[in-house]
Structure 1
Amino acid sequence: MRYQYVKPSAFLSDFVKHYWVLEIDEQEGHVAERVIPTGNIELMFHYRKPFAVINAENNSLSSQPLTVLSGLISGFSDVTSVGDSGVLAVSFHPFGACQFFNFPLAEIENMSVDLRAVLGDKIRDIEEQLSNACHLTERIAIVEDFLKKAFCPLDAYDLAFLKKAVSLIETSKAGIQAHELADMLAVSNKGLERKFAARLGKTPKQYLKMMRFQMAVKRLSMANDQALTDLAYQCGYFDQAHFIRDFKMFSGYTPGEFRQICNYQAQEGIVE
């Protein structure tokens, strides 16, 4: 299994956080992974056999489309490779995806959409080019060319508004409340909800909850022995009970279980 991050070109770096690539050879068999929220809208191009999603109720498999646009998710899923697999994914900045897809991003909240249903033959051509490409640099160039052609910039006011909103959330370490954010941005609560839903894909309250979870994931991934109560407060949770409840909703694990997995991976040299 090979996993790596790739930086976008200078032009796209304001909108694309990074690309990630995962390849699994056929002789490795079925490799299962739990997918938890990343806080990013992602566009995935399978250039070999697509992954399959595992049904939690009966363990049946359903194959993903070749090209998938995933909205911001509030839960987890389990996926597996089904042979010779390869995927190149675009991970957007919070205010990035809305500048390539001309519809309210809340429409794909908690969904993974087959992009063929949205863009038709245009995507089929891209899929064929990626399948025929021999090297990663060639595949990156194909995807970047597609993104550059799809780019439809926001007006300067909307972009500045979103950047300031995200910056305030990051500066507060997701500790700010939605109504406080609206006040600081001089907009009504309803106005803020509309902008977030259309451009970021979640309401402000949902987005803040997701960012608190992301902070907790990063801290737990450091494989330290910090008390969970302290960690909960540092990540903006009111108490440990809320922390455990939200963390399990997003990941399927308790914080303690997730820490054990991170510790094991660190000991075994499994780094993602």
Structure 2
Amino acid sequence: MTRRIRLIADDYGLAPGVCAGILDLLDRRRLTGTSCMTGFPEWAGAAARIRPLCGHAAIGLHLTLTDQPAVTGKSSLAPEGRLPPLRSLALPVLRSRIDERDVHAELGAQYSHFVEALGRKPDFIDGHQHVHFLPVVRGWLRANFREAAGRPVLRGAPALGDAAVAPKIAAIAAVAAGFNQSMQRAGFAVWRPLAGIYDWRQPEKFAPLLEAAVEALPDHGLFMCHPGHVDETLCARDPMQSVREVEFGVLASDAFGARLARAGVEIMDGMG
């Protein structure tokens, strides 16, 4: 029996080279879909390029609360108009140094950019640096998607696995504690288990991680990835650079296609 898994690329909209790589892989049917960052000036053009795939590929919203310009400008969340590093986000939110209303406004603006550019609601929602697991974001999700119609699927918590990245996975899992259960009680469908977490500063780890996922992920399991091509825009915005070329090369390769076939695995099309 064929086993089907989801491969979702993060960061569509981050830079032209990232968008080009993801669109190429979608065309090759090496991805299920992608989640979109909607806060950059190039978003309208990026949205126009991916719009024809809506309904065929899974197109989601990649909520962003760290390290990039804030759509809503200056606020307690972004005092200088730039979203804070992850380490400077979670604790101030919990201690009410960042106004929850400012966080919700930023999330709402990113969501509106998605809907306005693509003419539809996102199929799913996840978060840059997993910020969708934060309590303040859970609250926004519950408040804004009370009706079942059009309610997005959510990316769930990671599965514990590779001992080499156990501390990283454990840190993410701690933030995500209770997420799957609480959001399912609120009526959301949750994609799980999540695989694909590794130290991206070690690009050689990606291919073995993907191979292990092909062999071990259960039916409908989710693997997150970050393929793309490096360009000047990416270099100015994000430290994750050359590893994106590595991920693209592995995913586009004939060897990966052959491994899928040997394992009796198919990459899911769209929302399945």
TM-score interval for Structure 1 and Structure 2 normalised by the shorter chain: 0.3 to 0.5
Relative contact order (alpha carbons < 8 A, sep ≥ 6): 1 or 2 greater?
2
Bigger Rg over Cα: 1
Normalized against structure 1, the TM-score is what?
A: 0.33
